[in-house]
Chains A and B, each alone.
Chain A
Amino acid sequence: MHGHGRALVLSLRRNVEMHKYITRRILQFIPMLFLVTVLVFALAKAAPGDPLTGERLDPNIDPEVYEIRREALGLNDPLPVQYWNWLSSVATGDFGKSLQYTGRTVMELIQARIWNTFYLSLFALGVTLAIAIPIGIYSANRKYSLFDYGATTFAFLGLATPNFFAGLLAIYVFSLTLGWFPAQGTTTAMSLTGFELFIDKLRHLVLPGFTLGLASTAAYMRYMRTEILEVKGSDFIRTARAKGLSNESVLYKHTLRNALIPIITLLGLEFGTLLSGAIITERVFNYPGLGTLFLNAIQNRDYPVIMAINLILAVTILIGNLLADIFYAIVDPRIRYD
């Protein structure tokens, strides 16, 4: 009894250690976040031109008026003051007004699109995991089989094909030629509701989702295969087999659990890759997400929008890293919490 009590205390101690570690990682996240806001601000300031550049070139506008507008926008304040003003509004969710879509706040523009990008990325991530992991495992188990060679070829093609090209090809084959899936937008008709709307949206996600997921699917297939093969050769797998365990429990318990550890870490970095990949993919499929908004904003020097999206991108990458570290601590007992 006494012993079990101690065992419980020990396992609690590990939990406490882990919670401390996780709390510390979250606390470290805060200065990083701060640094990111400085970077985003500095980048926007360093870029040539300012929000009014376009208007200044317009000969019909009196330079006097231009100066007044600059003053009103706070563009003549010292940089730290400008930064502080920007940061305090951002903290309350106020990213200012868009310069391009007059009268709309940046927040409105983002809110209207961020979910589309989220669904697209989620779909792509789902595709990646659902395809790459089983194929990677199967390939590793049938090393040098026809299947394995096929998967390897696919992986190299997938990695070598640029996003936009894969997108155009997908549109040509699956939309224009076969007519299986829509190639544009998020919905066919506004009138759809409930389940039909859901299916319609899903159908719109298929082509951009697979396009966005293609490169990472290819990459993760390879990672998975390599990891499984590496773990399979380790001494503890020989021990597991010497214990008389079935092939299934050797594979799904002993091998997979170890092989997935590095994959989880990589997935944390995938957040950033997905979002930046979404910019091109959304453009190709004319998909109304953050990517399309971002490209438009760049063309029109819509600084508040650019800054907001940059910030979202950077924060997502940071969160991805944080999540990877936390998952890592949960799945790998060898992590030292110091």
Chain B
Amino acid sequence: MKNQEQALLEVKGLKTYFYMDDNKVAKAVDDVAFTINKGETLAIVGESGSGKSITSLSIMRLIQSPPGKIVEGSISLEGKDLLKLSEREMMKVRGNDIGMIFQEPMTSLNPVFTIGNQISESLMKHKKMKKKEAYNKAIDLLKLVGFARAEEIVNEYPHQLSGGMRQRAMIAIAMSCDPKLLIADEPTTALDVTIQAQILDLMVQMKEKFESSILLITHDLGVVAEVSDRVLVMYGGQVVEEATVHELFTNPKHPYTNGLLASIPNIDADVERLESIPGSVLPAHRFPKGCRFAPRCKHVMDKCRESNPDLLETETNHKVRCYLYED
């Protein structure tokens, strides 16, 4: 099994900092490393402010600079370090090798252009298609993401579609150039529960059809359990635990992960349930010196406040960043 797995994206030692007006530095992503294999769905979970979006935007190199900057690390896509590409070369990666969809389907499409126009654009840019060809391809893509009236939708404007339909259109855009990786940053958070399931289904279908991988960002462990192969738990701009989905749910190690899992039962109270971990995430410019979870941890020890533990592989394919598991 293991040797068959081929790495698609390898992130190593990624640090993305924000330099704020008052000379403070927000270490929003601080030494993050992970790998996504071909055909795999990797989920990143964590509370608001844990650095999930900044991690995904760093991969796309869409961090607004200033104030943000990727200060260290490497992000290689099939061996090619994206951080070493010129901006022009990076444009050929965005939308082509990596497609991305966002949380806010209501505002993520340009209100003044038709859906068809916005899908065609990618095809014309990356696949060098002519207008008419791209238009026809856009109709095919819309059919693929489940629009029965694709021929009409292609000429409609975003405001004519519902949230779920817009997210389908976003998926059509993201998949238009047959990307190797689809990054989905909380793609269902803003949608109704019934629609959420449909969109997740669609993403999995698309992944299979296009043989791509997915990086799925969410704070919903239910979603994680449903679609992902492996999970990365993030806290305070760092990965605190990494394991397969099965392993994470059956054998969670990090106190933070345990806290997240303990709060699952009230499945309907989507937001509140994260509050069962006392305290809240500090903003990235106020992280404590030692373990970043220390102020909220039940098992906190003296050394936790002194220095930050490393992310160690304590069992095969299971990594955790906590002194409880260091000998």
Q: Is the CB of A245 within 8 A of B121?
A: yes
Q: Is the CB of B112 within 8 A of A3?
A: no
Whether B102 is near chain A, meaning CB under 8 Å from some CB there, is: yes
**B121–A333 CB distance below 8 A:** no
The contact string, 1 if C-beta is below 8 Å from chain B, for chain A 2-18, is: 01101100110000000
In contact, A7 and B91 (Cβ under 8 angstroms): no
The number of residues on chain A lying at the interface, defined by a beta carbon within 8 Å of a beta carbon of chain B, is 27
Q: Does B311 sit within 8 A of A, measured CB to CB? A: no
Residue of A nearest to B96 (CB): A244
State which of A76-84, A88-96, A234-242, A310-318 sits at the interface with chain B. Answer: A234-242
Chain B residue nearest to A232 (CB atoms) is: B64
A3-B151, A235-B102, A242-B94 known; A258-B62 Cβ under 8 A:
no
Which residue of A242, A245, A257 is within 8 Å of B100 (Cβ)? Answer: A242
**Nearest CB of chain A from residue B60's CB, rounded to whole Å:** 6
**Of the residues B102, B125, B170, contact of A245 by C-beta under 8 Å:** B125
Interface residues on chain B, number (Cβ under 8 Å) = 34
B170 touching A239 by the CB < 8 A rule?
yes
A267 to chain B, nearest CB (A): 17
List residues 99-131 of chain A with CB under 8 A from any CB of chain B: none
**A243 CA to B151 CA, complexed, in Å:** 23
Q: How far is the CB of B281 from chain A (nearest CB, A)?
A: 23
Report the bound CA distance from A315 to B287 in whole Å. Answer: 64
CB-based contact A6/B159 at 8 Å? no
Contacts of B80 in A (CB 8 A): none
Is B275 an interface residue, CB under 8 A from the partner?
no
Q: Are A235 and B108 in contact (CB under 8 A)?
A: yes
- Report if A177 contacts B (CB, 8 A): no
Within B76-115, the residues touching A (CB, 8 Å) are 91-96, 99-100, 102, 104, 107-113
Would you mind naming 6 contact pairs between A and B with Cβ atoms under 8 Å apart? A239-B170, A243-B125, A244-B96, A244-B122, A257-B113, A331-B112
Nearest 5 A-B pairs (CB), nearest first?
A3-B151, A244-B95, A244-B94, A243-B95, A235-B107
- Report which B residues bind A (CB closer than 8 A): 60, 62, 91-96, 99-100, 102, 104, 107-113, 121-122, 125-126, 139, 150-152, 154-157, 159, 170, 173
